[in-house]
């Protein structure tokens, strides 16, 4: 599975969009991009995933560049409850789908 790179921390004002970048320059054609987040003292929570098309759900949007070497998770109207560590993970298809977590981005949403 390809290695991903994320900034260690970001700040965002409440009500504004939070744009969290992720680089995955070695991603292969069968690898999806997954995003999870972990609020303090809880288990990680699935947010969204995509292969090459942009995706949107009730939590967030995922924008994947055309060359698939990077992506951005967008929380359109961040709230204080979105303060968490956000993990970007690339994962190949197939039965052996083991998630490997990096160190993620600590997002702090402030008033």
Partner 1 sequence: DVKVTQSSRYLVKRTGEKVFLECVQDMDHENMFWYRQDPGLGLRLIYFSYDVKMKEKGDIPEGYSVSREKKERFSLILESASTNQTSMYLCASSLKGGANYGYTFGSGTRLTVV
Binding residues for partner 1, per CB under 8 A? Answer: 31-32, 34, 36, 41-46, 49, 91-104
Give the residue carrying structure tokens 């956000």: 86
For residue 51, the minimal CB distance to partner 1 (Å) is 9
Return the number of the residue (14 or 106) whose C-beta is nearest partner 1.
106
Nearest to 9 by CA among 21, 17, 26: 21
In the complex with partner 1, which residue's Cβ is closer, 64 or 91?
A: 91
How many CA atoms lie less than 13 Å away from 69 in the CB half-sphere?
A: 3
Instruction: Report the alpha-carbon distance of residue 84 to residue 12 in Å, rounded.
Output: 12
* C-beta closer to partner 1: residue 95 or 111: 95
Smallest gap from Cβ 47 to partner 1, in A, equals 9
* All residues at 6 or more sequence positions from 42 whose CB lies less than 8 Å from its CB, including other chains: none
Least separation in angstroms between residue 13's CB and partner 1 is: 27
Instruction: Identify which of residues 94 and 111 has a Cβ nearer to partner 1 in the complex.
Output: 94
Minimum separation from the CB atom of position 91 to partner 1 (A): 4
Between CA 16 and CA 50 the distance in angstroms is 24
């Amino acid at each position: 599975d390809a290695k991903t790179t994320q900034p260690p921390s970001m700040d965002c004002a409440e009500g504004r969009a939070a744009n969290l970048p992720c680089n995955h320059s070695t991603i292969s054609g069968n690898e999806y991009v997954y995003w999870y987040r972990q609020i303090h003292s809880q288990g990680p929570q699935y947010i969204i995933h995509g292969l090459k098309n942009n995706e949107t759900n009730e939590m967030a949007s995922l924008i994947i560049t055309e060359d698939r070497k990077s992506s951005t998770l967008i929380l359109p109207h961040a709230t204080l409850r979105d303060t968490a560590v956000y993990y970007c993970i690339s994962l190949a298809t197939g039965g052996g789908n083991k998630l490997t977590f990096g160190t993620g981005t600590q997002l702090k949403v402030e008033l």
